[in-house]
A and B are shown apart, each in its own frame.
Chain A
Amino acid sequence: MEETIRIHQLSKHYRGSDRYALKDLSLSINRNEVFGLLGPNGAGKTTLISILCGMIAPTSGEWWLNGLSHRKNRRKIQQQIGIVPQEYALYPTLSAEENLYYFGSLYGLSSLDLRQRIREGLHRVGLADFAHKPIKTFSGGMQRRVNLLAGILHRPNVLFLDEPTVGVDVQSKEVIMALLHELNAQGTTIIYSSHHLNEAQHFCTRIAIIDDGRIVVEGKPQQLIASVAGATSLENVFIHLTGSQLRDYA
Chain B
Amino acid sequence: MRKLSVSAYKEVLLLLRDWGGLAILFFMPSVLIITITLIQESTFKAVGESTLPILLVDEDQGEIGRLVADNLAEAPNVQLITEANGQRLSQADASKLVSDGKYQIAIVIPEGISEELNGKVAHNVERILGEFELTAPDSAAQRQRSEQWEAKEIIIYFDPAAGQAFRNATKNNIEKMLSKVEVEKIYHVFIDQMELENDPGLLDGEIITFKETIAQKGGDGIIPNAVQHNVPAWILFGIFFIVVPLGINLVKEKNLGTYIRLQTSPVSYSVVLGGKIVTYTVICFIQFALMLLIAKYVFPLIGLIAFEPGDQLPLMILIAFVAGLAAIGLGILIGTVAETQEQSAPFGAIFVIILAALGGVWVPTFIMPEVMQKVSAFSPMNWGISAFYDVILRNGTAADIAWPLLFLLLFFAATLLAAILYHKRHQAN
Contacts and interface: CB of A to CB of B under 8 A. Distances in A.
Interface in B218-277: 256-267
A64 interface: no
A228 to B, nearest CB: 35
Nearest to B429: A15
A125 interface: no
Nearest to A74: B266
Interface in A57-102: 57, 75-76, 78-79, 81, 83, 85-94, 98, 101-102
Interface in B1-38: 2-3, 6-7, 9-10, 13-14, 17-18
Contacts, number: 82
A106 B257 contact: no
A106 B266 contact: yes
Contact of B261 (A86, A92, A94, A103): A103
A170 interface: no
Contacts of B202: none
Task: State the main secondary structure of chain A at its contact with B.
Answer: loop
Interface residues of B, number: 25
A87 B260 contact: yes
Given A90-B258, A91-B256, A106 B267 contact: yes
B92 interface: no
A112 interface: no
Interface stretch (A48-56, A219-227, A240-248): A48-56
A53 B266 contact: no
B256 A87 contact: yes
A91 B256 CA distance: 7
Contact of A106 (B6, B13, B260): B6
B10 A53 contact: no
Which of A57, A87, A102 has the most B CB atoms < 10 Å from its CB? A102
Nearest to A82: B264
Contacts of A76: 266
- Give the 6 A-B residue pairs with the shortest CB-CB distance, closest first: A87-B257, A89-B257, A93-B17, A106-B265, A105-B6, A78-B266
Interface of A: 14-15, 53-57, 75-76, 78-79, 81, 83, 85-94, 98, 101-103, 105-108, 134, 150-151
Interface of B: 2-3, 6-7, 9-10, 13-14, 17-18, 256-267, 427-429
